[in-house]
Amino acid sequence: MADSKVAIFPASGGIGGSTLTHLVDAIDPSRIIAIVRNPDNISSRNRNSGISIRVADYDKESTLEHAFDNASILNLISYASIQHKHRYNAHKLAIDAARKSGVKHIFYSSLAFAGDGEPISEAHVMQAHLDTEKYLASIAAQDPSFTYTVVRIGLYSESFPLYTAFFDLKNPSDEIRIPHDGSGPGIAWAKQDELGEAAAKLMKSYLASPKTFAYINKIILLSGPRVWSLSETAEVLGRVAKKPVKIRQVTVEQYSLQPQVQRGMTYGGGDLAPAWATAFEAIRRGEAAVVTPHLRQLLGREPEPFDQTIAKMV
């Protein structure tokens, strides 16, 4: 597949921007199509590398119609929302448009809830991912010319506020009030930029030899190197913030009514905090505590530990 083109959509934001940057370094940039809502969100370094840039928006179906033309491979980054049906429908529209344009393989960036290939999750945030995974599998079952790889992305170390009631390193409180007691199992935190690097290396591997690629119509979980309980996570945050921090278990209602949670979990005028709180049950059941060697193997080095990543954030 020496001349196959790879599209990334959306190619900005945390994981999309990171994957684009590392893919520019991994393959000929002229083979890369970066699809974004706003081209200004692509770094000047990547804009000037020789990539093609197109404009499309998950929420504007007409923009997807030709967004994937001339691409053989697509890295589909999930829609930035925790909503279920709307998010899944956005993914489905993009997948259908990509297939109409001739895309033959989709790398779908899913999430690490549900562990290493399980088809169910307690976390509301995972439901659209599971539906998308099932949709890709159903297409491949009906059309042997189409294949996919589900890349379950480990929970980002940098996303710790979502799991700590929006703890602020620059304005720290002395307790984290969540519907969880802080004990294990916990989260195999992974650095966001290393996840983007690993995703780019997966695509490079596929391009080099699609017939022998190990993850055709399969799921690969990219996790951090070890599991940190939420209490251990709080201890790390406290060390970095230079203030003792403890977990205090509260009800879902008490968690949801905290002002910072209300601010962080209000989308389109709707309060999604109770739905998000299901993530704590998923953590309690060990869904985010599955460790695999894949991230280390793709990087060719030990992934950066959670505490080191957090220390660099202040």
Report pLDDT digits (tens) over 294-306. Answer: 999 999 999 999 9
Q: Cis before residue 10, ω within 30 degrees of 0?
A: yes
Q: Is the pTM of this model over 0.75?
A: yes
CB atoms within 10 A of CB 207: 19
Q: Which of 194-198, 219-223, 264-268 comes out lowest in average pLDDT?
A: 264-268
| Contacts for 158 with CB less than 8 Å, ≥ 6 apart | 14, 191, 192, 309, 313
Is 175 in the same domain as 79? Answer: no
How far apart are alpha carbons 234 and 244 in whole angstroms? Answer: 9
Residues 175 and 92 in one domain: no
Provide the strand spans (E) within the chain. 6-9, 32-36, 52-55, 73-77, 105-111, 147-153, 175-178, 218-222, 246-249, 266-267, 270-271
Summarize the confidence of residues 21-39 as an average pLDDT.
97
Same domain, 44 and 168: no
Q: Which domain holds residue 269?
A: 158-186+225-289+304-311
Q: How confident is the model at residue 270 (pLDDT cuts 50, 70, 90)?
A: confident
pLDDT of residue 2: 58
- The pLDDT-based confidence of 1 (bands split at 50, 70, 90) is low
Task: Give the containing element (helix H, strand E) for 21.
Answer: helix 13-26
The reply to whether 264 and 198 lie within a common domain is no
pLDDT in tens, 122-139: 999 999 999 999 999 999
pLDDT band at 292 (very low <50, low <70, confident <90, very high): very high
Number of other residues whose CB lies within 10 A of the CB of residue 168:
12
The total number of structural domains in the chain stands at 2
Q: Are residues 230 and 273 in the same domain?
A: yes
pLDDT at 267 over 80: no
Shared-domain flag, residues 151 and 246: no
Neighbours of 88 (CB within 10 A): 20
